[in-house]
Structure 1
Amino acid sequence: MSTSTTTSVVLESLDSSLWIRLNRPERRNAFDPEMCATIVDALHDANSYRSVVITGSGGSFCAGGSLGQLSEPTVPEMRKLYRSSLALFDAIRSCPRPVVAAVNGAAAGGGNELVVACDLAVAARSATFGQTGPRVGSSPVSGATNVMGVQIGEKRAKELSMLCRRYPAERAYEMGLVNEVVDDDALEQHVRALCREFEALSPRYLEITKISSNIWWNSARDSFSTGLGMLVQAIGSEDMTEGARAFLDKRKPQFPLPE
């Protein structure tokens, strides 16, 4: 096993797999543009591995994009965050190796969309899933409002995207959001065993199979760009700042009705 560590991302070589661990537990592993860039680079350099695993540290999987700057947003900062999030999801989909989400805790907002982007997902029994967009003054336009509908059905995807409820791992499995649910203390070993199955398979034809399966992702790609453009236009809106402040203050937001 070899390990490479940055402040916010830990890269480990386990067996024949590259493990990418989000390492900002103090903010539930919410990602920022720098974290996204590190992960994208790792995915682009994953050719020497048989598979890739994305997981979290400190008992959380990923809380999506970091909301710290949303209460006083600037257009350049927010555009950079939106673009880096999309670059991360695109890198997962274009990575020639299978990418597995090992969901070891809460997958919220963009963290849930991270699960949607991965090829396979295994959840710890204590993991939870859900979107946060309208609750925090945003919208999950990079997977949850489009591709997730293909994975779990349109009505269920709208339920997740619009109501911002939290779902236990077993319910996520029933909906088709994850492939398996295992006991918390068995997650890593189970995922390692899953990844060893890829060792008996042709990397060349796994890549063909994966890229061919991107038809729905590619079809939704224009929707991602359009949605992100709409989010950029809404930067600094009352709803964005109120949602972010309420989230940071741990209170219920008070969203006004539009005139």
Structure 2
Amino acid sequence: MTGVNVTREDGAVWIELDRPDRLNAYDIDMAHDIIAAVQGAADAYAVVITGAGRGFCAGGALNELDDPDPALLRELFTTSLRLLESIRACPRPVIAAVNGPAAGGGNELVIACDFAIAARSASFGQTGPRVGSSPVLGATNVLPVQIGEKRAREMAMLCRRYTAEQAFEMGLVNEVVDDEQLRGRTREWIAEISALSPRYLEITKANSNHLWNAAQDSMRNGLGMLIQAIGSPDMVEGAGAFLAGRAPQFPPPAKRRDAQ
């Protein structure tokens, strides 16, 4: 699998995103491989998603945004939704073992998981309006339920970064541990899960998905708007600035005709 390492350990499937050169930002092929690994884990007790190197996941790869191919970008957007849906549809508990920055779609990956354990060096945040996009696959619709509307809008709209301790205080993660304890503590969670009834955990998870399911119209509507905005000046400038390591210079707000 390109950029994705899948292993089995103590009854759990571990999915490691392995593109440390770009903080494990996923492309279409990686997303398909993650989906396949999640869907193939029905016979495990739990699933763990983590990252290689110093990052958890920087979301979808932005190299397509500064000179976008509409067909490829549409596929990346729609595959991202399928990826998050596969986590929620997985009959097993899915744990995000967040070993570093979870940014943009990587933060939405954390939102989609059932549990999240963060290393103390981890950080969290959305990037959409800063890079010419919008976090419509969790941060604008499900995150308010998890951490409250005002904090969710702050995260989604202002693109601030948050420490692991701040994420814990907000309710985005379940626990914060020292970096060297992350995998060991995750194994302890797996052991606790393994002692429970897989059948009734599946029922409990499925019944807990009602708020996620209610957000599907919002996600698909937002996705449609993102697709319509492919190639917009704001997208090209935001992604180009990010890739060049400079501050973006977005066009100012358009004047309303009735204000002229």
Q: Which runs of 5+ in 2 are unaligned?
A: 255-260
**Aligned AA (1:168):** T
Where does residue 86 of structure 2 map in the other structure?
Answer: 91
Residue 227 in structure 1 maps to residue 222 in structure 2: yes
Distance in 1 between residues matched to 2:54 and 2:244, nearest whole Å: 22
Where does residue 50 of structure 1 map in the other structure?
Answer: 45
Residue 117 in structure 1 maps to residue 109 in structure 2: no
1:11 Cα offset (Å): 0.2
Whether the 8 Å contact between 2:2 and 2:30 is mirrored in structure 1 is: no
Distance in 1 between residues matched to 2:216 and 2:45, nearest whole Å: 27
Q: Which runs of 5+ in 1 are unaligned?
A: 1-5
Where does residue 123 of structure 2 map in the other structure?
Answer: 128
Where does residue 3 of structure 1 map in the other structure?
Answer: none
Whether the 8 Å contact between 2:24 and 2:55 is mirrored in structure 1 is: yes
The root-mean-square deviation of aligned C-alpha atoms, in Å, is 0.6
Distance in 1 between residues matched to 2:168 and 2:162, nearest whole Å: 10
Distance in 2 between residues matched to 1:67 and 1:254, nearest whole Å: 17
Alignment match of 1:106 (pick from 101, 110, 117): 101
Name the TM-score, length of structure 1 as normaliser: 0.97
Where does residue 181 of structure 2 map in the other structure?
Answer: 186
1:74 Cα offset (Å): 1.7
Q: Secondary structure at the match of 1:11?
A: strand
1:7 Cα offset (Å): 2.6
Where does residue 140 of structure 2 map in the other structure?
Answer: 145
Alignment match of 1:205 (pick from 195, 200, 207): 200
1:258 Cα offset (Å): 3.6
Distance in 2 between residues matched to 1:69 and 1:172, nearest whole Å: 30
**Aligned AA (1:183):** D
**Aligned AA (2:195):** A
Whether the 8 Å contact between 2:66 and 2:240 is mirrored in structure 1 is: yes
Report matched runs for 1:26-45 at 5 Å: 26-45=21-40
Bigger shift: residues 78-87 or 39-48: 39-48
Bigger shift: residues 70-79 or 143-152: 70-79
Distance in 1 between residues matched to 2:175 and 2:8, nearest whole Å: 23
